[in-house]
């Protein structure tokens, strides 16, 4: 009899943003379908914990570390709205050069344009082999996937960096292994390439894959 590990996945999407403000955000429309779902693999049972994040640097600075502290996560998947026609799997995140304001207006910028609170490198790279992940997903029929080293220097990139920095700092302090952390940029329109339901299924397949690879 196989005894499965219980794993917990933190999965986030974003609120609407833009000028004019969009009516919804594809990332959250996909992510919210996984909330409290159980994903089974051959050797693990994964519990999904889904949260919507504000498009605001100050709020992300507070909320993302708080979410990490709320559980013992072995998988973290952040999802945001990106370019039309494709889904991008991001490899790295950046600490500096944030000049585009968030939803709260002209003052919604991080101090000195940088992610605060961490003595970590200017660029952090996920420990996930993103190219191999993409290849495995393509074998399952997900053909519009691309890898990227430019997460955009906006709140998405800021969020990704914060989570990777949490993995390097607070997880060792808690005597926990750093979670496998990924950022997924989805296309902004509901009728572009994949539907919201399909995007949710893609995220489910990503979590399932990471649960297998991280054993």
**Model confidence pLDDT, tens digit, residues 132-172:** 999 999 999 999 999 999 999 999 999 999 999 999 999 99
Separation between Cα atoms, residue 27 and residue 126, nearest integer Å: 20
What span, in angstroms and rounded, lies between the C-alpha atoms of 155 and 64?
Answer: 12
pTM recorded for the entire structure: 0.96
Residue whose tokens read 């053909």: 143
Start-to-end C-alpha separation, the chain: 17
The answer to whether 38 and 8 have CB atoms below 8 angstroms apart is no
pLDDT tens for each residue of 60-80 = 999 999 999 999 999 999 999
Amino acid 84: pLDDT: 87
Q: How confident is the model at residue 53 (pLDDT cuts 50, 70, 90)?
A: very high
Q: Is the pLDDT of residue 2 over 70?
A: no
Higher pLDDT, 201 or 191: 201
Please state which of the ranges 8-17, 156-165, 181-190 shows the lowest mean pLDDT: 181-190
Task: Supply the pLDDT for residue 214.
Answer: 66
- pLDDT of 42 over the 80 cut: yes
pLDDT value at 1 more than 60 = no
8 Å CB contact between 68 and 118: no
Which pLDDT band, with edges at 50, 70 and 90, does 189 fall under? Answer: confident
The rounded Cα 149 to chain-centroid distance in angstroms is 14
């Amino acid at each position: 009899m196989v005894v499965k590990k219980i794993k917990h996945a933190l999965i986030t999407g974003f609120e609407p943003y833009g000028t004019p403000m969009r009516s919804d955000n594809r990332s959250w429309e996909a992510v919210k379908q996984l909330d409290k779902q159980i994903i089974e693999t051959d050797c693990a049972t994964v519990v999904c914990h889904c949260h919507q994040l504000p498009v605001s640097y100050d709020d992300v600075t507070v909320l993302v570390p708080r979410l990490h502290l709320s559980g013992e996560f072995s998988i973290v998947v952040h999802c945001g709205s990106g370019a039309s026609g494709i889904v991008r799997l991001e490899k790295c995140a950046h600490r500096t050069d944030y000049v585009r304001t968030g939803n709260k207006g002209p003052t919604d910028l991080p101090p000195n344009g940088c992610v605060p609170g961490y003595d970590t490198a200017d660029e952090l790279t996920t420990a996930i082999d993103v190219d191999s992940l993409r290849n495995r997903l393509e074998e399952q029929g997900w053909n519009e996937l691309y890898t990227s080293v430019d997460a955009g220097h906006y709140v998405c990139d800021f969020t990704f960096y914060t989570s990777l920095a949490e993995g390097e700092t607070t997880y060792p302090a808690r005597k926990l292994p750093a979670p496998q952390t990924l950022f997924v940029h989805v296309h902004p329109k509901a009728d572009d390439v994949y539907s919201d339901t399909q995007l949710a299924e893609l995220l489910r397949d990503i979590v399932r894959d990471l649960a297998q690879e991280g054993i």
